[in-house]
Amino acid sequence: MTTRKLGTLARSGRPPREMQNAAAERIIETATVLFAGKGFAGTSMEQVASQCGAGKDTVYRRFPSKVALFEAVVEHAHRRAVARLEDLSPLEGNALERLKALLRELLHINMEPDLIALKRITFSEAVVFEKNAPIPPQPDPIMSRLVDAVGEAQGARMLVDGDADAIASHLIHCMVALPTSVAMLGGKGFDDPRTVDAHFESTWNWLINGVSTRQRS
């Protein structure tokens, strides 16, 4: 058998894994745009196939349902957020300043329009998903990094002792819950990044310094 025939046979089989991965990536990226712009109900598998240039059978072979595709989109968005944190330049300052910088970055990541749209769909279509919501893989590397930052600040005696996981959960909730909830409900109060930063600074000061006027003994 000639080399040419061997090459022909190789090309006639299944596409290489790299091509399969690239096709899945293209489908997910297209679906992300459609879900974010049209919502879950307004997006169809046929639209995804048409927009990304793949056959409908190809889309269904990789993602057997629209729910499965949406879950893949959420997981992909989470991996993208993790990658963004990993690409950050080393945070400067003492342990408390590094924790503050990390929290600020997490807030801005969570306020990205695509992520807001996906969160809105996740909560509004929870019944469709037959569970509370698609969740990122556990343990979550984003929360793990935040917990580590809290632990470093505690080790430097800049935060009180206590359960670092619980403290990290409260910090991320206080910083992120209000602006993301407003954005998910269509409010415009945090459209300006300067407003987001102002919310962050005031909330950080309240958390670190307290809101009571009583002097601590």
What phi-psi label fits residue 186: left (phi over 0), alpha (psi between -120 and 50 degrees) or beta?
left
**What is the pTM (predicted TM-score) of this model?**
0.79
Question: 3-state SS of 128-171?
Answer: CCCCCCCCCCCCCHHHHHHHHHHHHHHHCCCCCCCCHHHHHHHH
Give percent of the chain above pLDDT 70. 83
Give percent of the chain above pLDDT 90. 57
Task: Name the nearest CA neighbour of 110 among 71, 131, 137, 136.
Answer: 136
Cα(178)–Cα(195) distance, integer angstroms: 12
Cα(25)–Cα(18) distance, integer angstroms: 10
pLDDT 10s digits, 74-119:
889 988 988 988 888 888 999 999 999 999 999 999 999 988 998 8
pLDDT 10s digits, 20-49:
678 899 999 999 999 999 999 999 999 999
The more confident residue out of 13 and 25 is 25
129 has a pLDDT exceeding 80? no
Q: pLDDT-based confidence at 215, cuts 50/70/90?
A: low
Extract the tokens encoding 169: 């959960």
What is the per-residue pLDDT for 5? 43
What single DSSP character describes residue 8? H
- Nearest 5°: the CA angle 174, 177, 181 is 155
Residues 153-180, mean pLDDT to the nearest whole number = 94
Q: pLDDT-based confidence at 134, cuts 50/70/90?
A: low
Cα(165)–Cα(143) distance, integer angstroms: 8
Cα(10)–Cα(7) distance, integer angstroms: 5
Residues 6+ apart with CB under 8 A from 109: 81, 84, 85, 115
